[in-house]
Amino acid sequence: MKNAFVSLALLCGLLFLGTALAEESRVAIDGDFAGGNIKVDSIEGDVVNLRPDLRDTRGDWFYFAFRVRHAQGRTLQFVFDHDNRVGARGPAVSLDGGKSWKFLSDKPGFNSRQFRYEFGPDDKDVRFATSFVYTQADWDRFLSKRPRLKTSVLCKSRKGRDVELLRLGNAEARFGCVLTARHHCCEMMANFVIEGILEEVLSGSGDGAWLAENVSLFVVPFVDKDGVEEGDQGKNRRPHDHNRDYHQAIYPEIRAIKQQVPEAMQAKDYIFLDLHCPWLRGGRYNEALYSPGPESPKMIAALKRFSDLLEARQKGAIIPYKESNNLPFGQGWNTTSNYNPAPGAQPQMASKTWAATQENCLWAGTFEVPYANAEGAVVDDVSCRELGRNMAKCFRQFLRQPGRPQPGMPEEADFSAVQDPPARK
């Protein structure tokens, strides 16, 4: 009797251990982290069928970010619901919980629907995403290395989050610069460009020092803060997205920008630059850096001037750029119908269109920074920061207009000849 009892106990123990081990060895896939987004349809053997979670998106979009656990030593095939889900260099992969990312492929032209991943023996937690996920944690890390920078709060989001506002430079300066990103929350590469712009301002270089002295910066890194943290698509959000809200202003962030930008930029000549990412891949305009052109002659001229400066600056930089990359208003998707989708519906207005109505705004524009590939060059944290630094240098050149006395600059100075001192090693 005693022996039978011991045998039963042993059997129960083995069963329990077996179940626990099976549980442990079962591949777990989820998007339960900041910026996470995935729907897993099935896991059959080594094949995972999945798709992006579209939530409140009108139509289709492609953003995903998920983590895989308990897959050490296995090779899994990830298959999306259809083509044009995976970017030009494959998914971005993070092995450190989302702190750093690398594309799966060194080359563009990656399969747009599926990828295979060999999990090493220590790959306990691997994240995959459309590109380099950037959330508040990344912004906080950037700030923590630069204790001089202190963010304030633009407003509370609908879900009660603080929407960050960074003020930098000289509040009394005669020039201003408004930088925004994530009107479409999935468009994360924009934030690395903003990091580069801020790095240049703080660098102590000739351009950086001039900007810090003569420009007041107003930076909103996450316009759709809730969407960034919750991993939404954001683009084409119902009833309309944040960058179609400048007429109706149903979102607190847009109401705050419309109120606070004119106050902060009062009596300043300023640049308003809103950074975006285009569609996922392919075609002339998704794998190249470009600016969708404005409608007004004043802003067409301003964009041309800024673009010429940027073209010169990007020569020799990682991401190629030419003024002729830009998409003029009236061509491709960049038409009036893009802002008035339904006949008889309330008109919609984008941020740059609103900013262009502000009398002292010298240039209101957007740039589209691809998710992974720009004419064969890699778009990543490094190349985007380099682009940001060059954009900052262009701000300085741009703000010097002929016939205006420039603070700290001789009237006739040739800006193109101003060089930074060689970088200290």
Return residues touching Zn ion (CB under 5 A): 184, 187, 276
Rounded Cα gap, residues 132 and 99, in angstroms: 9
Q: Which of 216, 215, 228 is nearest to 159 (CA)?
A: 228
Rounded Cα gap, residues 256 and 183, in angstroms: 13
Residue with smaller CB distance to Zn ion, 50 or 350: 350
Min separation Cβ 344 and Zn ion, Å: 25
Sequence letter at residue 380 = D
Residue with smaller CB distance to Zn ion, 119 or 246: 246
Query: What letter does residue 420 receive in the DSSP assignment?
Result: P
Min separation Cβ 133 and Zn ion, Å: 16
Q: Residue 244: CB partners within 8 Å, gap ≥ 6?
A: 339, 348, 349, 350
> Number of C-alpha atoms within 13 angstroms, CB side, residue 255?
9
Residue with smaller CB distance to Zn ion, 216 or 373: 373
Residue position matching structure tokens 């809200």: 245
Min separation Cβ 279 and Zn ion, Å: 9
Q: Is residue 122 packed enough to be buried (19+ CB in 10 Å), middle (13-18) or exposed (0-12)?
A: exposed
Separation of first and last alpha carbons in the chain = 81
Residue with smaller CB distance to Zn ion, 244 or 393: 244
Residue with smaller CB distance to Zn ion, 181 or 265: 181
CB 191 within 8 A of CB 181: yes
Min separation Cβ 280 and Zn ion, Å: 12
Q: Which of 188, 196, 166 is nearest to 87 (CA)?
A: 188
Residue with smaller CB distance to Zn ion, 240 or 276: 276
Residue by residue, DSSP assigns 324-373 as: GGSB-TTBTTBSGGGT--STTSPP-B-HHHHHHTSTTEEEEEEEE--SSE
C-alpha 236 chain-centroid distance: 16
Q: Give me 203's structure tokens.
A: 């660098």
Min separation Cβ 15 and Zn ion, Å: 54
Residue with smaller CB distance to Zn ion, 90 or 227: 227
Residue with smaller CB distance to Zn ion, 326 or 397: 326
> Number of C-alpha atoms within 13 angstroms, CB side, residue 30?
9
Min separation Cβ 366 and Zn ion, Å: 8
Min separation Cβ 277 and Zn ion, Å: 6
Min separation Cβ 181 and Zn ion, Å: 9
Residue with smaller CB distance to Zn ion, 126 or 188: 188
Min separation Cβ 391 and Zn ion, Å: 17
Q: Residue 150: CB partners within 8 Å, gap ≥ 6?
A: 143, 166
